[in-house]
């Protein structure tokens, strides 16, 4: 690696919350110029967060910056909460300036548009166009076993593999209570994710009781990527939004995620156009300094 005197600006940002230590943290190396892939992977393994991001100069016209995204074990072409957390870090540090309330991120998936909500300063990313494929009977039965739930619940929830840059096996359960009660077999989820790969993992969701702040409870399991349960997952919630739109329920809503692992994040989902899904929320910096390479 580079000399021990090489210090790079670094932030750790909690995403989908305005209260530190309640959302999903992402580590952001704000200047990753000259770092090679092995160095990035080593840093991501060390932070041991679900994702660590590395900011680079853009190479595509129209992009404000380029982003590489790593879990502790692999690189991702796109991920939701790292996209929002990195944008927050860059804006807060003054390294980028929004034009007309918007930024454009370049990542392996392509260009991703971000919007800064004027009154709340919440950040939203435009979800890459989803691709949905229904699971066959064999895979649905295996999914039920991995979640340790009755197979009829999974079949009734119409499980799908949904690709939004990150790919999640996604299924609706009858209620938020049943979502929170799931005690998955992580080894089985790992095996299913790899067999149906490239799949990040499994996302489950269920409706909250009427009258609450959030409409859905969400959980995301990604043991194949080094994150057995992702606290609050942007791409997983994007897959839920794509599932709901495909089933005729494409209306704005708020989702809640993280309570099963001691967090409490809120994800705003909007459908500004019939073909567009936006995923957003608040973000707050928890660590601000430098990382030594």
Distance CA 12, CA 16 (A): 13
Of the residues 51, 217, 229, 270, which is catalytic?
A: 51
Handedness of CA 22, 23, 24, 30 (dihedral sign): negative
SS3 241: helix
> Going by C-beta distance under 8 Å and a sequence separation of 6 or more, which residues neighbour residue 171?
143, 147, 154, 157, 158, 159, 160, 202, 203, 204, 205
51 catalytic, yes or no?
yes
In 24-159, which ranges are E strands? Answer: 24-29, 52-56, 65-70, 75-76, 102-107, 110-116, 123-126, 131-134
Q: How far is CA 254 from CA 6, 90, 190, 251, in A?
A: 42, 26, 28, 10
Positions annotated as catalytic residues are 51
């Amino acid at each position: 690696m580079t000399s021990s005197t090489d210090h790079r600006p670094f932030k750790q940002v909690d995403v989908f919350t305005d209260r530190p230590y309640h959302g999903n943290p992402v580590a952001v190396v704000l200047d990753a110029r000259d770092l090679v892939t092995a160095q990035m992977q080593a840093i991501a393994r060390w932070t041991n967060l679900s994702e660590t991001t590395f900011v680079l100069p853009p190479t595509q016209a129209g992009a404000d910056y380029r982003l590489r995204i790593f879990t502790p074990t692999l690189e991702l072409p796109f991920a939701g909460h790292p996209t929002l957390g990195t944008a927050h870090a860059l804006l807060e540090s003054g390294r980028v300036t929004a034009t007309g309330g918007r930024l454009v991120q370049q990542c392996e998936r392509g260009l991703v548009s971000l919007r800064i909500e004027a009154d709340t300063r919440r950040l939203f990313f435009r979800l890459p166009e989803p691709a949905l494929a229904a699971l066959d009977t064999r895979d649905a039965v295996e999914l039920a076993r991995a979640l340790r739930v009755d197979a009829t619940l999974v079949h009734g929830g119409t499980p799908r593999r949904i690709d939004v840059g990150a790919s999640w096996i996604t299924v609706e359960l009858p209620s938020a209570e049943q979502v929170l009660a799931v005690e998955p077999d992580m080894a089985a989820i790992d095996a299913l994710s790899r067999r149906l790969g490239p799949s990040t993992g499994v996302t489950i969701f269920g409706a909250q009781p009427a009258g609450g702040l959030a409409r859905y409870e969400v959980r995301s399991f990604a043991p194949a990527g080094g994150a057995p349960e992702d606290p609050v997952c942007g791409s997983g919630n994007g897959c839920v939004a794509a599932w709901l739109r495909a089933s005729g329920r494409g209306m704005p809503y708020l989702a809640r995620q993280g309570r099963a692992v001691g967090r409490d994040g809120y994800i705003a989902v909007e459908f500004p156009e019939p073909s567009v899904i936006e995923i957003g929320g608040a973000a707050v910096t928890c660590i601000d300094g430098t990382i030594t390479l």
